[in-house]
Each structure stands twice: as structure tokens, then as C-alpha cells.
Structure 1
């Protein structure tokens, strides 16, 4: 497997892990399993943080993909 392909696969897998974790945390908050003083604020914080993480991971791994592709790997 080429390094550039591994970078793209890592991008997809890490993004899926972050999104699945955020979905699970939001589900726990909405169902009442996790108590919060402000459930809406908690959900907003989770989605904002997850979105930021997906963005950072995507940029880093897309830059790695481009660098490896340019190098022929």
C-alpha cells in the first residue's frame, strides 16, 4: 500500500472515529444517561469540538497525502 493511500485511509478512519464518538456523546446527553446543567450547551460544545478535530485531522492528512503523492509514494 502506498504511503499516500495510507494517509487517505487514516483520514477516513480518524474522521469516522471522531464523528462516531461525538454521536455517542450526544446520544448519551439527549437520553439523559449523562446529566448536564445545560444539555443544549453540552451538545453544542461536543459538535464544535468534533468539527474542529475533523478539520484539523483532514488538513494534516490531506497535506501528507499531497506530499507523498508529489514524492511518488
Structure 2
């Protein structure tokens, strides 16, 4: 699992997750409004099952992480 959206290598994390069956990206430590455009595109297209929702609890609560 590539934590924290793979930052600062989000584009590379997307490529590795696309190519490898058992590689995933998590969204911990980021609120939905801070997801990079390339990650949002990946989620909407072929990465729907490759991105795991995370919050970074207790520093970021689930409700906060979902704010858009």
C-alpha cells in the first residue's frame, strides 16, 4: 500500500498500482479536496478498486477527510 496518496510520487504510485495486482494507494492524511487531479482521474477511470480510503486518525477524523 502506497500511503499518503504516494506523495510526492503520486503519478508513479498510480503507474505501479495499475501494473501490479497487489499494489494499492491509500488516501490517509489528505482531505478529499486536496486529492491531486491525476489521482481523481485514476479513481474515476480504472483505479476504482485500487485506492483505499484512509484518514490518518486521530489527527484527521473520517468526517474531516471526506470534506470536499
| Short-chain TM bin | under 0.3
Larger proportion of strand: 2
Q: Which has the higher contact order (CA 8 A, sep 6+)?
A: 1
TM-score normalised to structure 2 length: 0.27
Larger proportion of helix: 1
